[in-house]
Amino acid sequence: MSDYLLPERKARIDEVVSRRTRTLVVVMEAFCDPQNVNAVLRTCDAFGVQEVHVVEGPMKGFDRNKKISQNADKWLDVTRWTSTRECLAALKQRGFAVHVTWLGEGTVGLSELDFAGPVALVFGNESRGVSDEALALADARYAIPMRGFSQSLNVSVAAAVSLARAIDRREAQRGSHGDLPEAEARALRERFYLLAVKQRSRIAKAETVAERRTRNRR
């Protein structure tokens, strides 16, 4: 499919994939505002985070909004869960440390967290914060330092600030942020090429017709 892309578009996709990671992931736990869900999806794409995990809550199901996400979700691997415990247990089994946002006691600053290995950042419900299950499974609880009268941020803003600082820490500790193995990078490039090609269904249909005509002439 890359043959149908302009060289500039193909080069852009190659650059994006080179900066992608699956060793820093985001978990959204029981968000009740779809606008926040879509804003975080857009942020994850912007910061090169390929995997997003959505734990659906009782108030409202996960709903994509193209106007807010700017279609960012189509470039991401989004996994839905009905249980926080199952989600975080699966990530921990893969070797992820779980860092949760928390405004209570026992927190550390974001700059104190270790990002040398795989890390899952967990953001909780807009009004209740992270659940007791998330706190129990957390390897670290962190807070974003506040210097004004406000003591908290909108969850989508908190995710953006957290990812920006996390990437700075990763680059300092690991040397780079993008770290996909070549086989994964190649598969992701091919997937992005396909997504980027306009009217790919029409092209595929035209190719099929052309192949049939060629066979009929033989």
Neighbours of 162 (CB within 10 A): 22
Dig out the tokens for 60 from the structure.
Answer: 């409202």
pTM: 0.85
**Nearest-angstrom CA–CA distance, 179 and 14:** 13
Helix (H), strand (E), coil (C) string for 90-142: HHHHCCCEEEEECCCCCCEEHHHCCCCCCEEEEECECCCECCHHHHHHCCEEE
Q: Is the pLDDT of residue 70 over 80?
A: no
- What pLDDT, on a 0 to 100 scale, did the predictor assign at position 140? 96
- What pLDDT, on a 0 to 100 scale, did the predictor assign at position 1? 57
**Nearest-angstrom CA–CA distance, 165 and 187:** 28
What SS3 state is found at 59? Answer: coil
Q: Where are the beta strands (DSSP E) in the chain?
A: 24-29, 51-55, 77-81, 97-101, 108-109, 119-123, 140-143
Domain architecture of the chain: domains with CATH: 21-174 (3.40.1280.10)
Beta bridge partners of 24: 119
pLDDT digit string (tens) for 90-114? 999 999 999 999 988 889 998 899 9
pLDDT digit string (tens) for 109-160? 988 999 999 999 999 998 889 999 999 999 999 999 888 988 788 999 999 9
Q: Is the pLDDT of residue 214 over 80?
A: no
**Nearest-angstrom CA–CA distance, 44 and 48:** 6
- What pLDDT, on a 0 to 100 scale, did the predictor assign at position 46? 95
Report the pLDDT averaged over residues 8-22. 95
